[in-house]
Each structure stands twice: as structure tokens, then as C-alpha cells.
Amino acid sequence: MPVLPGAHEALAAVRRHGGRTVVVTGKFAPNAQRHLDHPALDVDHLEGWVWGVGKADALRREGASVYVGDHVHDVEGALAAGVISVSVLTGGSTRDELLAAGTHVVLDSLADFPARLDEHVLDLRLAALEERLRELGSLLVAFSGGADSALLLAAAVRTLGADHVVAGTGYSDSLPAVERDPARDFAESLGVEVLTPRTHEMDREGYRENTGQRCYFCKAELIETLGPARGRARHRPRRHRHQRRRRGRRLPPRHPRGLRAGGGDPAPRRRPHQGRRP
């Protein structure tokens, strides 16, 4: 029997994100193992001879957070375990039946799973970032203008508001002048105050040696320079609403897609797992 299209890719997607793969099936376990061995489907754990809500114990015991199946009884097991139910239209249950059973997501094929898992993991990471930002309450972002610091700056503004965020960009010969204005424009478009102190990383021997540790010495210089300004984000005076709108653009709300459908429960914040009936 040929393997379902996308099966190998689905397993690889879970491993790419550091997850484990668990198969929970109603089949007799030795027979299920043969079904896995023949197409060389490599999984971390196989649990056989369980049905419906009985699958919940195995899913909980293995720490699963996502369960992929193709039958309404797979949905029952996922919901009983409190994990995300992903249903694929490769079995005997129709889309309407799966949705009526309460599945969170319906996919036409396993080939669609890797992209949805990527979105799901991104949603989890963004949620974790927003939670950490709320704990901090205010933030001074060492802002280079690159993708990483731009993402952090935008997330901080979305979560805390521009009045609680300050961007700091070190100006030195290491930062080309042509890159300074775009970085400042981006930060100011978010309504964020931008500090541009002069840094002197070239005075540090470790930086001048230009080894693999160069970035450490650059960041150390920036942190020490920005240190005296770390309280600026906490003590900035609040601007009137019309001032904030004039200076900065409003961030669009984030609409998580991932492995959640409208009305679905929030995804448990654990490593992604995948189970599938062979």
C-alpha cells in the first residue's frame, strides 16, 4: 500500500520544529508497526489498540499538543486529551462530520500540514514573546534596523504601546550612513522615540580583531552606552491620541491562522507533536 502523499513531509515538519512524532491507533500494534516500517515512516512512539476517547490517555502521557487524524473518533480523542485536533480528508469521515465533531482544522491533504504547522509554531512563539513583553512593562530596544530588532520593536509597540517603548541605535563608523535614515523612519513610523548615541566599538581590541566574537564586543559597547537611558521607556510622558496618530501608524491586529480555526481553543504552549492512524 503506498504511503499517503505528504506523510513523510508531515513527519519531517514536526522534527524540524523540535517535536516528537507519536502514532495512536486502533490497530493491533504489531500490525500497525508493519504499516509504518514498509514505507519507512520513522516515529518516536506507537500506541495501538485504543479507540475514540481512549486515545486521550496516550496523547496526554506522551505530551502531545496536536493530533492528526481522519475520523470523528480521532477528533473525540484529541478533544478529550485537550489538544488541537487536525483532521485530514483521507478517511471515511466527511468535512461536515469532522467539523460537527468539533475538530479545529480540516485539511484536504497531509501535504497541507507542514505550512499550517509552521504558522502554528509562529503563533506560539509570538504569544510567548507578547507575554514576556507584558511582564517587562516597558522596553528599550537595541535597534539596528535589521529584521530581528525590527520584529521585536514592532511586537513591543503592539503589546505595550509606543509610550512604553524606546529604540536605541548606536551611531558609529560601523553603521553606514545610508542605513541610518531607513531605520529611524521605521521606528518613528511606529511612534517610537529613537535614541542615537555615539558608540566606540572600534576602541575595543576584541572588536578590532574581527573574530567570531566580534558581535559580542559590538553588543557590549551598545549596552553600556544605552544603559543610562534604560529608564526612558518607563518615564516617557504620554502624548495625546491625535499626536500618536500623526507621528506613527497604527499596527494591524495579528490574526493567528496556524492550527486554529474560528472558535477553536487556544493552542497549548508545548512542543508540537503529531499523531496519525496508520
Does 1 map to a domain?
no
Q: What is the CATH number of the domain that holds 178?
A: 3.40.50.620
Same domain, 111 and 148: no
pLDDT digits (tens, 9 = 90+) for 226-243: 887 666 555 554 444 334
> What pTM value is reported for the model?
0.72
Q: How many domains in the chain?
A: 2
What is the model's pLDDT at position 231? 60
CA distance 40 to 7: 10
pLDDT for res 194: 93
Residues 118 and 144 placed together within one structural domain of the fold: no
Identify the CATH number of the domain in which residue 75 sits.
3.40.50.1000
How do residues 164-209 score in pLDDT, each as one tens digit?
999 999 999 888 888 899 999 999 999 999 999 999 999 999 999 9
Q: Of 214, 230, 246, which marks where a domain is finished? A: 230
Query: What pLDDT score was predicted for residue 219?
Result: 86
pLDDT of residue 233: 53
Task: Give pLDDT, residue 176.
Answer: 87
Given CA atoms 213, 219, 220, 222 in this order, what sign does their dihedral have?
positive
Q: Are both 115 and 22 inside the same structural domain?
A: yes
Helices first, then strands: H and E counts in the chain: 12, 8
**Would you give the DSSP letter of residue 202?**
G
Do the domain assignments include residue 252? no
Q: Would you say residue 237 lies in a domain?
A: no
Amino acid at 160: L
Q: What pLDDT is stored for residue 269 in this prediction?
A: 37
Parent domain of 106? 7-123
- Given a cut of 70, the residues of the chain with pLDDT beneath it are 1, 229-278
pLDDT value, residue 140: 93
Q: What is the rounded CA–CA span in Å between residue 255 and residue 52?
A: 32
Edge-to-edge order in the sheet of strand 165-168 = 139-142, 165-168, 193-195
Cα atoms found within 13 Å of the Cα of residue 45, Cβ hemisphere only:
14
